[in-house]
């Protein structure tokens, strides 16, 4: 442990085993984690630089973590690593109302940023379901999505620039604060979604939008089957005016949510489809009428429409409760595939078939308008054979998505959970190019090694 | 020349001096160009791979060119290089109406893609003024902008994935065709805007949008001074509903365009501001009313509003004619700065002051809503002292933009034209990270070396 003395001279170093255990994993079931050598709770850029300089000098792995809400094990500790916790770097440094950007530290929670923006009439759109508890640094590391992405885009669409500490402790500044700018190579988007493998994000300049007006309309269709709901989602998404949210919940999910929230959801439907519009009022009403027709013609047994904001919010609260509700029912293994929209009904059917094949319960919900689904495999706690079957179902779902031209992860990341499957999506030459970039920025491979499909 | 024999065995190699001269430069005034060893007009990915393998084996520089409409000298030949012309790789391979993407070769012209998309009710938004003559590969290389960026974003916002031949001839595939996807490192956006320094784009998957409905409203304000027009642009841009285009032309530009097109423009105004909305009709009218008030309160001496599409199109044709019109007046040196919106009036005034200081004529036009201006310094043909003064004015404008928190280039790129100025925008540590990435992908530094601020 004497190695740590040089680090202890610069920052407070945590070696207490219980505390280390508390920062050794994120929220991904199934993903393994190791035992860290130590942890540091950084409160400044200088702290982060000190850790990285020490780690480079001692060729020690560093795993960065924010709020710890990750779903792919990307922040899980590695044996002998330093856990670098940046959650205390949580200041909003600037909100520029006129130029519409915010400058934040990585530990700022997504919801806190949005609330601060609201005070200036502005809005930070990316809204992962975890928005109340996940931090901007983690959102950037995973390129987090959310419910409004279908209309407003994902995290990467809102990152204008980053401050990043590299493996050797040097600090770089990427991007710009102007509306446009092409001066250097686009390093900003290289770091977005890189899951802690290329550098430590210590600051971000984020684009904000004008806050939306109050107008909101919601159509909820109850369908006999998931495939019918998926087909209706295809039609609604394919319209000239798309929805601002388009979400699906299958029967298993609806029942779990109803057991959790008791709000009178239709637990007999095969699936619910939620289509929301946020445009001006007259237009919303016309769109809602159209979507009701689409649902009915698509086989919906019941269609409900509302523009009352409390009812709209309650339905999306139900949708956001999907994962926590399923988690209450047992050990939950969460998927995050994304398929082309045209394959959505087929993928939904395939998931049901995989559940039957492996005798596991799968609750599927997700961002239907993006083809981004979160089938969640739930097994009884302590039932090891069931967990084995869950694992097999999990792999089958990934391969099914890839076979349909889909991807392994839409918004949660690869982390450790899907590390070994990246080779099935990305060919060897392209992976080699990724490895070269990894080594260029982190030649000792100390930043989150062995994650995201990167083997170097 | 015997070195070329191995290449000649695989592709047709051009060594005719006149032909070489015709592919040795783009449209950037001032940027120097060298004498190539040879040129190859690739018609396939295999051709490009053959060139790159040969170039690697012989450590020979390769300069890639598309339509040759670049404005920063990024496609200018280097002494002894191979010019790799991909303009004949110009097939639209697929337009997927439902998933809303196009798969194209790099030589496809922007306007040709948009026309093909239109046949499917779709739209490719990025619209550089050169859209009728510039190619998608070049648009990607420079991350081209355009007039509708202020509402719809730039080229990088529409690139889903790329096929790229690396320096060693290997072919990689970045990105995805699904709405979302975070599986690998984001190499796609690293290549966008990299100006031929990292690889050769041989294919692109581009996101398309639903074609807009016909609704369109235009407000044209005539202002006594550029600063007043800039201030009105700030207010219009800052509204909850922004314009779909917001363009400015100063008096010098208006006069050049009027001399060119004879359409009755107000040649006495200090500047014209053009604000366009493309939303549904009722909303457009209300917005146009608001913008008229903003212009009048901002000092406009005349305000004209129309929703007749021929009048709207004529005004934007005038705006798009700005650079060709100024070019007719003499030797034109085109700038491409971008400043924070709040500094727009000050920047416009500064440009006028710089013109006076150096006794040169500067016509300024550009994308006011993005703070992206194209001051164009015009000097009489053959007047060398004037060209020297133009050069000095050019540098002063860059430094003025940087001093206001702006950037060297909003959408044209750095190329050779601004190569030596990148150091004033990007700090040494960040440049070093860029150089490391360059060397990771192009260890022999044969791809467009000595451009974009990259010295390795």
Mean of pLDDT values over A350-370: 98
| Closest approach of B141 to chain A, Cα-based (Å) | 10
Contacts of A310 (CB under 8 A, 6+ apart): none
- Interatomic CA distance for residues B303 and B290, integer angstroms: 12
Considering only alpha carbons, which residue of chain B is nearest residue A179? B370
Residues of A in contact with B407 (CB under 8 A): 176, 178, 180-183
Residues of A in contact with B184 (CB under 8 A): 422, 425-426, 430-431, 434, 452-453
Contacts of A289 (CB under 8 A, 6+ apart): none
- Interatomic CA distance for residues A362 and A273, integer angstroms: 17
pLDDT given for residue B214 in this prediction: 64
| pTM score, whole prediction | 0.97
Contacts of A145 (CB under 8 A, 6+ apart): A126, A128, A154, A155, A367, A370, A372, A410, A411, B180
- Interatomic CA distance for residues A61 and B70, integer angstroms: 44
Residues of B in contact with A185 (CB under 8 A): 190, 193-194, 197-198, 434, 437-438, 452, 454
CA-wise closest residue to A74 among A163, A166, A144: A144
Considering only alpha carbons, which residue of chain B is nearest residue A146? B180
pLDDT given for residue A1 in this prediction: 44
Three-state secondary-structure class, residue A391: helix
Three-state secondary-structure class, residue B242: coil
Cα first-last separation, chain A:
26
B184/A240 CB distance under 8 A? no
CA-wise closest residue to A172 among B359, B432, B74: B432
B173/A410 CB distance under 8 A? no
Q: Which residue has the tokens 């012209």?
A: B109
| Closest approach of A304 to chain B, Cα-based (Å) | 27
Three-state secondary-structure class, residue B364: strand
Considering only alpha carbons, which residue of chain B is nearest residue A199? B433
- Interatomic CA distance for residues B267 and B40, integer angstroms: 47
- Interface probe with A: pick from B163, B183, B369, most Cβ of A within 10 Å: B183
- Interatomic CA distance for residues B263 and B48, integer angstroms: 46
pLDDT in tens, A396-451: 999 999 999 999 999 999 999 999 999 999 999 999 999 999 999 999 999 999 99
| Closest approach of A183 to chain B, Cα-based (Å) | 6
Percent of chain A with pLDDT over 70: 99
Angle of CA points A188, A194, A200, to nearest 5°: 75
| Closest approach of B100 to chain A, Cα-based (Å) | 9
CB atoms within 10 A of CB A35: 13
Considering only alpha carbons, which residue of chain B is nearest residue A339? B178
CB-based burial of residue A1 (10 Å sphere; 0-12 exposed, 13-18 middle, 19+ buried)? exposed
CA-wise closest residue to B124 among B84, B79, B88, B160: B160
The string of DSSP codes covering B90-127 is --EEEEETTTTEEEE-TT-BHHHHHHHHHTTTEE----
pLDDT given for residue A214 in this prediction: 64
- Interatomic CA distance for residues B351 and B17, integer angstroms: 41
Query: How many pairs of residues across A and B have Cβ atoms under 8 Å apart?
Result: 254
Cα first-last separation, chain B:
26
| Closest approach of B85 to chain A, Cα-based (Å) | 22
A405/B177 CB distance under 8 A? yes
Three-state secondary-structure class, residue A55: helix
Q: From the list B182, B405, B412, which residue is nearest A143 (CB)?
A: B182
Q: Which residue has the tokens 């445009």?
A: A279
B193/A182 CB distance under 8 A? yes
Residues of B in contact with A427 (CB under 8 A): 172-173
A171/B429 CB distance under 8 A? yes
- The tokens describing B36, both together, are 């190539």
Kind plus residue range of the DSSP H or E element containing A21: helix A17-22
- The tokens describing A144, both together, are 């987090």
pLDDT under 50: residue ranges of chain B? 1-2
The string of DSSP codes covering A404-430 is TT-BS-SSS--TTTTGGGHHHHS-HHH
- The tokens describing A363, both together, are 């609750």
CA-wise closest residue to B417 among B447, B390, B445, B386: B390
Give residue A223's Cα distance to chain centre.
27
CA-wise closest residue to B353 among B318, B392, B406, B397: B397
| Closest approach of A187 to chain B, Cα-based (Å) | 7
Q: From the list B173, B342, B437, which residue is nearest A440 (CB)?
A: B437
Residues of A in contact with B426 (CB under 8 A): 173, 183-184
A434/B283 CB distance under 8 A? no
Angle of CA points B388, B391, B392, to nearest 5°: 90
- The tokens describing B189, both together, are 């956006």
β-bridge mates for residue B306, sequence order: B218
Residue A2 confidence (pLDDT) above 70:
no
Give the ipTM of the model, two decimals please.
0.96
- Interatomic CA distance for residues B90 and B86, integer angstroms: 8
- Interatomic CA distance for residues B303 and B297, integer angstroms: 11
Q: Which residue has the tokens 């990167």?
A: A454
Count of positions (residues) in chain B:
456
Q: From the list A193, A283, A433, which residue is nearest B182 (CB)?
A: A193
Alpha carbon separation from A428 to A126, A402, A422, A435, B173 (Å, rounded): 32, 16, 10, 10, 10
- Interatomic CA distance for residues B287 and B415, integer angstroms: 39
Contacts of B24 (CB under 8 A, 6+ apart): B33, B34, B35, B36, B76, B77, B83
Cα within 13 Å of Cα(B324), Cβ side: 12
CB-based burial of residue B297 (10 Å sphere; 0-12 exposed, 13-18 middle, 19+ buried)? exposed
Ramachandran bin of B406, using left for φ above 0, alpha for ψ from -120 to 50, beta for the remaining angles: beta
Three-state secondary-structure class, residue A166: coil
| Closest approach of B19 to chain A, Cα-based (Å) | 31
B434/A185 CB distance under 8 A? yes
- Interface probe with A: pick from B70, B150, B185, most Cβ of A within 10 Å: B185
Considering only alpha carbons, which residue of chain B is nearest residue A419? B183
Ramachandran bin of B426, using left for φ above 0, alpha for ψ from -120 to 50, beta for the remaining angles: beta
Inter-axis angle of helices B226-237 and B344-357, nearest 10? 160
- Interface probe with B: pick from A180, A199, A202, A436, most Cβ of B within 10 Å: A180
CB-based burial of residue A314 (10 Å sphere; 0-12 exposed, 13-18 middle, 19+ buried)? middle
- Interatomic CA distance for residues B104 and A420, integer angstroms: 32
Three-state secondary-structure class, residue B354: helix
Give φ, ψ of B210 to 5 degrees.
-60, 140
pLDDT given for residue A280 in this prediction: 73
- Interatomic CA distance for residues A209 and B343, integer angstroms: 19
Considering only alpha carbons, which residue of chain A is nearest residue B425? A183
Mean pLDDT, all residues of chain A: 96
β-bridge mates for residue B163, sequence order: B173, B203
Residues of B in contact with A163 (CB under 8 A): none
């Amino acid at each position: 442990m004497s190695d740590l003395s040089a680090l202890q001279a610069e920052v407070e170093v945590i070696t207490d085993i219980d505390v280390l255990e508390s920062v050794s994993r994120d929220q991904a079931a199934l993903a393994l984690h190791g035992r860290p050598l130590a942890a540091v709770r950084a409160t400044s850029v200088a702290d982060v630089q000190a850790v990285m300089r020490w780690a480079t000098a001692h060729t020690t792995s560093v795993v960065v973590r924010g709020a710890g809400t990750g779903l792919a094990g990307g922040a899980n500790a590695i044996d002998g690593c330093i856990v670098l916790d940046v959650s205390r770097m949580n200041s909003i440094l600037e909100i520029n109302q006129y130029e519409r950007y915010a400058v934040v530290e990585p530990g700022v929670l997504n919801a806190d940023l949005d609330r601060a923006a609201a005070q200036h009439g502005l809005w930070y759109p990316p809204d992962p379901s975890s928005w109340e508890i996940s931090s901007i640094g983690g959102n950037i590391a995973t390129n987090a999505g959310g419910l409004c992405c279908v209309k407003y885009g994902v995290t990467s669409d809102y990152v204008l620039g980053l401050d990043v500490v590299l493996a050797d402790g040097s600090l770089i500044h990427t991007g710009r604060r102007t509306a446009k700018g092409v001066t250097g190579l686009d390093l900003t988007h290289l770091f977005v979604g890189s899951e802690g493998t290329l550098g430590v994000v210590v600051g971000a300049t984020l684009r904000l939008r004008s806050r939306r007006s109050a107008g909101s309309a919601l159509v909820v269709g109850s369908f006999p089957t998931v495939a019918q709901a998926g087909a209706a989602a295809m039609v609604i998404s394919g319209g000239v005016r798309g929805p601002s949210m388009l979400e699906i919940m299958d029967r298993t999910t609806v029942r779990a949510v109803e057991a959790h929230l008791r709000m009178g959801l239709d637990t007999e439907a095969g699936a619910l489809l939620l289509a929301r519009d946020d445009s001006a009022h007259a237009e919303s009403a016309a769109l809602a009428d159209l979507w009701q027709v689409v649902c009915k013609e698509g086989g919906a047994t019941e269609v409900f429409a509302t523009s009352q904001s409390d009812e709209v919010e309650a339905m999306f609260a139900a949708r956001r409760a999907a994962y926590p509700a399923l988690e209450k029912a047992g050990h939950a293994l969460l998927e995050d595939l994304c398929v082309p929209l045209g394959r959505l009904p087929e993928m939904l059917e395939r998931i049901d078939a995989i559940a039957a094949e492996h005798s596991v319960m799968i609750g599927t919900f997700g961002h239907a308008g993006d083809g981004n689904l979160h089938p969640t495999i739930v097994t009884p706690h302590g039932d090891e054979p069931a967990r084995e079957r869950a694992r097999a179902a999990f792999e089958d779902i990934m391969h099914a998505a890839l076979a349909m031209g889909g991807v392994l992860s839409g918004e949660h990341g690869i982390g450790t959970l899907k590390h070994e499957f990246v080779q099935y999506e990305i060919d060897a030459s392209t992976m080699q190019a990724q490895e070269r970039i990894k080594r260029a920025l982190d030649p000792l491979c100390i930043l989150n090694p062995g994650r995201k499909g990167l083997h170097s």
